[in-house]
Every structure is written in structure tokens, then in C-alpha cells.
Amino acid sequence: MLERLITRLLKNIDNTLLIFISLTLVVGLFTLYSASGQNIFLVLNQLLYIGLGLILLWVTANIHPKYYAKLALPIYIVGFLLLLAVMFIGHTSHGAQRWLNLGMFKIQPSEIMRITVPITMAWYLAKQEFKRYAIDYVIASLFFILPVILIVNQPDLGTGLLITASGFYILFLAGLNWKFIVGVALGLFSLAPLIWANLYDYQKNRVLILIDPNQDPLGTGYHSIQSSIAMGSGGLIGKGWLNGTQGQLDFLPERTTDFIFAVFSEEFGLLGNLLLLGLFALIIGRCLMIASQAKDTFSRLLATNISLTFFTYIFINIAMVSGITPIVGVPLPLFSYGGTSMTVMLMSFGILMSMHSHKELIGSS
Amino acid sequence: MSFKKNSQSIYTSRFYFKRRIKLLSVFIVIAFLMLIGRFIYLQIFKYSFYKGLSENNRIAVIPNVPNRGLILDRNGIIMADNYFTYSLEVTPAKVTNLNQTIENLKPIVGLSVGDLKKFRKIFKESSSLDSIPIKTQPTEIEVARFVSHKLEFEGVEIKSRLFRQYPQGTFASHLIGHINRINPEDKETIKKQGWQQNYKGTESIGKLGIEKYYEARLHGKTGFQRVEIDVNGHAVRTLASTPAIEGDTITLSIDSKLQEIAENAFNKYRGALVAINPKNGEVLAFVSRPNFDPNLFVAGIDEDEWKILNESLDKPMLNRAINGLYPPGSTIKPFVALAALEHDIRNPTFTIKDPGFFSLPNSGHTYRDWKPFGHGVVNMVMAITVSCDTFFYGLGIELGIQKLSQFLSRFGFGEVTGIDMFGESSGLIPSPEWKQKKFKQPWYLGETVITSIGQGYTLVTPMQLAQATATLANGGRVIQPKLIQSIKNNQTGQLEVFQNKTIQGLRFKPENLALVKEGMINVTQPGGTAAAFGAGAPYKIAAKTGTAQVIGLKANQKYNPSLINEKYRDHALFIAYAPAEDPTIAIALIVENGGHGGSTAGPIARKLLDYYLLKTVSPIKEDTKVNPPESEYHD
């Protein structure tokens, strides 16, 4: 009886992916415990977010993809309006206006857009599948360009870049012509000085610091230097769990959130890094497999996009922590402490699973 | 139109899609390989580099500053020690608005103008990461009041600090010297000496006197604590620790009671006094008046206080005992007399008939004796006893400047005594060579005349005069004077006792020495120039008075002390040793603008001798009657 109930409950869940995800979450929790200075309450909090995220994962996995396609535009419009609202009545914290105070809780509309933009674009491009014109790509592009402008303005370059990447993935997967891609790339390249001129000072600094972190060792370069020290001193096998001095003695800034990978890397070394990357690769691989098996264009675009977004997060975060790219506020998925990023990430896996479990139904309908 | 895809079937679309997914997979693999490459670079190739940085991050070395060594007098009386006190300190780098913070502190701890000036001065000389005292020794109430407001003052802390103190106040200040905060100049010195490691955490350094000369011994050895620190620099735990080793205890040869008597005897006069044990060269008293309060310097002196000390006309910062340069006046006569006897220019039976002046042969230049109409018939002993100038004028001419200056140099005049104190002046014994070099002028015979009574170019320090007197007293042993007796290593308990170095033994004919001594003893007897000084002494004293001119007088001008501004009055000099038969103390002193040697300098010396030889303290007699004031001048 119970067995049947469980089977029924898990009917729409991809077990392989869930196992990979769970493994990563466990490693993440252990790392968080160490990174927080053995603060069990922080870990319990994170566990709560994970619980919430898993419920959302279950819910989203059980929703039929066609509803996503249907709901895409309305949610997008609401999200966009909220984003506009942030601009006028938003809550300022750390010099950026990102939050909307709704009395009970604060929400970050840019997070809503992060998941809504690809869905909407996938919906639009899938709808136009058989009579797609150049103008359709332009319209689809507007779906991400408009919110990105608002988000970068907040300013939140990290989320802006992620949504841009997400949008590009969709366009690319939908079959955007190579010539056009090359053209845009060249265009962006030639626009670089203009973009540079429009960056905020702190954003410019981050790029400059990447080139020479020692330029300002106590200021902007501090994060970069300290995380490199943490990783480098971890060596081959690491200093051992709870023994990372950089993390334990507070030298690493933001070590429960954006820089949590440095804590992991210091304590588990190169071998740990390889195992973790392997785990991430398994998740990405499984996701792409699900995506490639999807039967319709919408599912295909969305599923691939979710896999790629997951990859992008990982890559940008680790590249930033290990000093390859400038510092942008991007959390490490399934690791970094924080309710929004955790629940949104798990929810997106749920959506992905929904594409998988409902593929036959779509095909037949 | 290349973007047109309307002919695309669902299958071609899927085909394109799969191709692009493969492409993306390749991209992902490349991206991951890039990360792995970076990991290998950081964690394998740069491992030891980052490991070092992480150790540096985590481990701080905190110095354990040693207690500074004590300074004691020969009887164990404390001249300098340390005490713990609170100090309210500000670390400018941790304070957002320094001026506002100071304003806010005012009602709580009560900062005086002096406190603030001192703070500003130290602030200028320090780095903003240093903890700078803004109020030393706050009262307990102030400490309590501050502690209750502590949270409002980030970067301000109450610290417990070890302070130097000089319990005797201004007493013996030139001798003991003082410490002061380490300034950029001191940092250079520390670097040159290779002391950087040992001075981590040390805030003050000896600047003067014994405190400076024996800095290396007094400082002690800094211990270190290796502690694991967090990012805020707070110690998490101690990994290793070596204790500080306190500085050595220095025992001076100074008898602080004798010193005190001497200082009090000077009263309001400026001047200097050095008392030496002629048997071993130990300095028993080392006085330079006026003094200063060394305690003012300990926590950093403020600019106004320093200005007062430094610009005062009385020059309290001048160490007159080793840097005061004075013409020796008649105190040089016993040495000149001995020179003449040793060179067989004079013998005990030689006499002159003193008319009260001396005419230089072949020039008609006359040099007057201090006594109008002269002393009558004078032999060598008498010449010393009554300080007959005329006798010495002629003697000097016959002896010649070369022999005279050579002989005086052997007593140590003209060069540093080598006492354990920095910056000693060497004084001057003139010679024709010196004059030629300095002024490009030949030596004149008249200059020999005045040199033989201690006037002219000759300059001595009280220290040199004391050393020479001791040499005379002990029969010719030139001993390097020393202010310390022993140094005790407090860790090992080892006591290092210093034997004074005999620089050279001068050989004199005993009968010549006895003759000079006789003259000097007679100085303190009725008829001598310091008869009042010697009156009633139960022991025999050998002495010589002297007067050094501050301004030259015109040929027929009569020197009248009461008519002359005090600053232009002559300096009074005095040398003595006692008991004359077997001397245990030799004294040289100078009273600036004190007039005649016997009247102001003599009583000071007498009080010293009485205490040293009899252990009695006689009251100060302001005007002791003496023989007619002696004054030596020439035209």
C-alpha cells in the first residue's frame, strides 16, 4: 500500500537526477556547516530551504508542460511589472535596489524573471516553430533584453548576465543562424568600450582587480586574493573538513554564500574539487539527456536551457572564486546559503523533470 | 533571407537541435577542463606559495615586551624603575572621525591641552595603525567612566602599560637621563644596530644619560608569542610562546645621598660638580644644574614643555658636567706647577719678588696679578697657596707652551675622559700647531703667559677637571671614570662588576708631587685662598680655587661683582681632594657666575666632603667669609 503510494508520488520524479542532486546537497550542507563556523542553526535554516525547494520540485515536476507554456506570458508580464515597481519603490540594500517589500516578506523580482524569461522565450519560439522569421528572433530577444536592462540598472550585473546567457541559449538552441551569432559577437566586441564606459565604478574595479588583484589588496582585491589563498593552500588533498584556516578564521569574505567553493576547495583540495566537478557534470549530463529526449520544441528548449543555466552558474561561480573571471554576485547552485537561489534552482529541476515524465503525453496529444 | 526556417520540418529541427546540444556539450567539457586547469595551477604549482600566504594570514607574532632594567645607586636606592598604569589609547586607523572622537572623549575623561598637544605630536610621528596614548594615567573614576561608554568609541582602548618612572624627580636627571617614545631617528639607530627584532612592541628608548648609554643592557630581550588570529587580528589561541627577559639591573657608583647634598648645595646656582674616588675612578656624584624632570619625557613630552626646557636661558638640558666648557682659571696652577718642577724649571727654593705684575721681556707688555701690589716674596708652595699669578707668568714663559700643553694633555685635558655617557666634549689645550691650523696665526708669547694661569684658549669640562684632580690625588694614575659599578643579569643572576681602566700611569718625582700637595693643603689653611672652606675640618684637604672670566675687563677697570649683571659675573671653580694624606674623594666643581671660587664653590665642596668623610650633614652657609676675592685678569 505504502509502496504504491510512494511509487505514485515519485511517478513524475527522475530518480537518477534526484540522487545526484541529493548527493550534492549533502556535500553542500557539510561545507556550509564548516563555512559558517559550525553554526548548526544556519545549516538547519538551509535544510528548511532545501525542504521547501524539494516540495516545489515535486509540485513543478507534476505540472504538465503545457501549463508552463500557457502560464509563461502572464507570469512574465507580472514579473516585468514587479521589476518596474522595484525601480520606483524598491528597497535599497548594499547600494542596489533589488528588493520589493511586500510587508510580510521581501521578494526579488529579478529572481522571478530568471526562471520566467527562458520559459516565455521557449514558448514564443516553439509557437513559431514552422513559420519562424528573423523578426521572431528579434521579438524573442526583446523578452530578455528589456528585463536585463532594468536589472543591470538596479544594479545587478550578475543576474543580468545570467539572464542574457539564458536568452542566448534559447536563441542558439532554437537554431539561430551562425552568421548572426558571429555578427552579434563581433558587434558586442566593438561595443565593449561603450559598455565599459557605462559600467559602475565598482564593476569596473572588479574587472581591473582580476587583471591585478594586488592593486588594492585590502579593498576590492581582497576577496580575490583571499579566495586564491584558500584554494591554493588546500593543495592536493586539502586541509580537512573544519580545518581550513582561511575559512575558519574569517579571512574569506562571503564564505557561506558566493565564496563557499573556496571553503570546500581549501578543506578538500584538488581531489575534492574534481569529485565535486564530477558530480556537477553528472547532473548536467543527466539534464541534457532529458532535454535531448524531449519530444516537442518547447520542452526541448526549456529543458536544455535549465541544464545550461545550471552549468553557467557553476562555471561563473567557480571561475570567479578561483580568479579566472571578475567577481560577480553569483551563488554556487545547491551549495551557497540562501533561500531564493536554493528554491528557484530546485524548482527549475522540477520543471525539467516534468518535461521528462510527460514526454509521451505530449507526443500523443 | 537566411533566418527563414519555414521549410524546416520537425525532424530537421530536431537534427539541428541535437547537433547544437553536442556542440554545447563540447563547450561544457572545455569549460570544465579550464576550471580543472586553474585548480591544478593554484593547488599544485602554486601550492607552497599560497600555503605560505595562508600561514602568514593565520599566524601573528605578538611581542612580549620586557620590563626595562632598574637603575640603582651604589646603596641600592632606586633611581629609575617601572610601574603599571592605565593608558587611554587611540588607534587612528580604526577611528572614523578622529576630531569628533576626541571631542566626545573630553567630557568623559577630561583631556587637558597638554594631553592633546602630546597626542598630536606623537600622532605626527606614528603610523595610523599605532595605538597612541591620549591620556596616560587616567584616574580610576575616569577609567570607569570610559569603560561604561566604551561601545561609543571604536578604536579607543584602555590599555595597561608599563611606564618608566624616576622616583627622585629632577634629582640626578643629567646622570640618569630619560627615555622617550621612539621617533623616526631612533628607528634608524635601531636598524643600524640590528635591533629591529628585539624592539618589536617596544615604544620607548633611552635618550640621554645612563638610560641611553646602557640602552642595550636595560632594554631586555623581547619574547614572542605565536598566536593564531582571525581576520580581525583577535588571538584565537596561542601556538607557542617565549617569555620576555627583563633588562639588566644597573648599579651606579653614584652615592645618591652625596648627590643629593651636592644638588641641594647648589641651590639656585647653575653649574656642575663631579666627585670621583681617586683610588678606583668611580664617580660618586655627577651634578649638572639646573636639572629637568625626566618624568616629563616618559610618555612623550609636548611641544610647549619642550620649548620651555630647550629655550630657557639657564639651559637646563645642557649637561654641564661633560659638555660645559670653562676656562680652568687658577685650578690649573697645581698642574702647571708640577710641570715646572718635573721639567726642572723650578725647584722648591726658587723664589720671586712679586711686584703685583709681570712684564714680558722685550715687549713691555705687563700682566697684572689678581692682588694689587703683589704677594711679596713667593716660592712654589706659597704661589699655589695664595694663587700668585706673577709666579706662574714667568714660569710659563720659561717652560714654554709646547711642554706646558704636552704636560697638561697627559692628565687627560683636551680629550674625552671616556666616561660611560654619550656626547662628552673634549675641551681644549691650545698649542702653536692648533692655533696655526685654527686661526692661521702664529702663537704669541703673551698667550703662553695667560695659558699658565688657566686663561686664554684653554677649556675644560668639570669631568676632565675631576679626573685630573683624582690623578693628582692618587699620585699619577689616570683612570677612566665610570658611572656604573655593576650590571646584574636578572635571568642568570650573574653579576658583572666593572673595574675601571687605568689609562696610563704618570711618573712624577715624589718630592715634586709632595710640594704641589703641600701648596694645595695650605690653600685650605689660614692664609690660603680657601681658608674659610677648610676652617674646622677634622681632616686635611688639598684644594685649589679658581675664577674664570666671563667677560674681559679693560686695563684699568676694577672687577666689582656687585656692579655687574649676574650673567656676566665670573665663574667660580674649585678642585679638592681629601683626606690629603690618603685621598678617597676628589672633587671638581664650577658655579656659573658664582664670582670667586672660594666663596660660592668652596662651601658646596665642603658639605660634600663632610658628608662623605664624616657622614655629617652641615647646614648651608650662604655667605662664608673668605679672603679678599681673587680675580685674575690681563690686558
DSSP A26-55: HHHHHHHHHHTTS-HHHHHHHHHHHHHHHH
Beta bridge partners of B62: B225
pLDDT band for position B555 (50/70/90)? very low
Q: Which residues of B428-459 are buried (b: 16+ CB within 10 A; e: fewer)?
A: bbbbbeebeeeeeeebeebbbbbbbbbbbbbb
Asked if residue B373 lies in contact with residue B356, where contact means CB atoms within 8 angstroms, the answer is yes
CATH, range B257-614: 3.40.710.10
Measured in whole angstroms, how far is the alpha carbon of residue A104 from the centre of its chain?
26
Residue-level pLDDT at A97: 65
Task: Give the pLDDT confidence score for residue A104 in this predicted structure.
Answer: 57
* Most confidently modeled range among A118-122, A293-297, B193-197, B630-634: A118-122
A269/B24 Cβ within 8 A: no
DSSP state of B198: G
Which residues of chain B lie closer than 8 angstroms to A291, CB-CB? 21
Give the residue, B28 or B137, on which the prediction is more confident.
B28
Residue from B131, B330, B405, B431 carrying the catalytic annotation = B330
The confidence score (pLDDT) of residue B39 equals 95
The chain B residues in contact with chain A (CB within 8 A) are 1-6, 8, 10, 13-14, 16-18, 20-21, 24-25, 28, 31-32, 34-36, 38-40, 42-44, 46-47, 49-51, 53-54, 57-58, 228-232, 236
Contact check, Cβ <8 Å, B43/A236: yes
Is there a contact between B39 and A231 if contact means CB atoms under 8 Å apart? yes
What are the start-end ranges of the E strands in chain A?
91-93, 96-101, 106-107
Per DSSP, the three-state class of B152 is helix
Phi, psi of B134 (to 5 degrees): -110, -25
Q: What is the pLDDT of residue B448?
A: 92
pLDDT digits (tens, 9 = 90+) for B266-302: 888 899 999 999 999 999 999 998 888 888 888 777 7
With contacts defined as CB-CB under 8 Å, which chain A residues touch B49?
232
Residues A158 and A341 sit within 8 Å (Cβ to Cβ):
no
Q: How confident is the model at residue B268, as a pLDDT?
A: 84
Give residue B625's pLDDT band: very low, low, confident or very high (50, 70, 90): very low
**Which of B16, B43, B58 is opposite residue A249, by nearest beta carbon?**
B58
Hey, which residues does B357 pair with through a beta bridge?
A: B368
Residue whose C-alpha cell reads 664624616 in the numeric block: B614
pLDDT, tens digit (0-9, with 9 covering 90-100), for A332-341: 999 999 888 8
**What pLDDT score was predicted for residue B472?**
93
Low-confidence ranges of chain A (pLDDT < 50): 361-365
First to last CA, chain B: 123
Cβ neighbours around B151 below 10 Å, total: 7
**pLDDT of res. B633:** 37
How high is the ipTM of this complex? 0.91
Chain B contacts of A233, Cβ < 8 Å?
Answer: 47, 50-51, 53-54
Residue of chain A nearest B229, judged by CA positions: A249
- For B61-252, CATH gives 3.90.1310.10
Q: Distance between CA B466 and CA B281 in Å, rounded? A: 10
Q: B112, B75, B515, B107: which is closest to B336 by C-alpha?
A: B515
What residues form DSSP beta bridges with B462?
Answer: none
Our CA-based measurement puts residue B132 at a distance from the nearest CA of chain A, in whole angstroms, of 23
Residues in chain A within 8 Å Cβ distance of B33: none
| Position B490 pLDDT exceeds 70 | yes
Rounded CA-CA distance B494/B466 in Å is 32
Kindly state the cell numbers that stand for A325.
573571471
Specify the pLDDT at position B629.
40
Q: Cβ of B6 and A228 within 8 Å?
A: no
Q: Compute the Cα dihedral for B71, B74, B76, B78 and give only its sign.
A: negative
Q: Which of B9, B25, B50 to mutate to test the interface with A (most CBs of A within 10 A)?
A: B50
pLDDT range class, residue B622, cuts 50, 70, 90: very low
Residue range B5-63, pLDDT digits in tens: 444 555 666 777 888 888 889 999 999 999 999 999 999 999 999 988 888 888 777 78
- Name every chain B residue with its beta carbon within 8 A of the beta carbon of A246: 54, 57-58
For chain B, give the percent of residues with pLDDT over 70. Answer: 91
The verdict on whether B330 is a catalytic residue reads yes
The residue ranges of every structural domain in chain B are 10-45, 61-252, 257-614
pLDDT over 60 (residue B634): no
Q: What is the DSSP string of B546-613?
A: EEE-SSPPPTTPPP-GGGS-GGGSPEEEEEEEESSSS-SEEEEEEETT--SIIIIIHHHHHHHHIIII
Rounded mean pLDDT, B326-337: 93
Dihedral angle of Cα A131, B15, A309, A182, to the nearest 10 degrees: -70
Mean pLDDT of B357-381: 85
pTM > 0.80: no
Per-residue model confidence as pLDDT tens digits over B559-586: 555 555 666 778 899 999 989 999 999 9
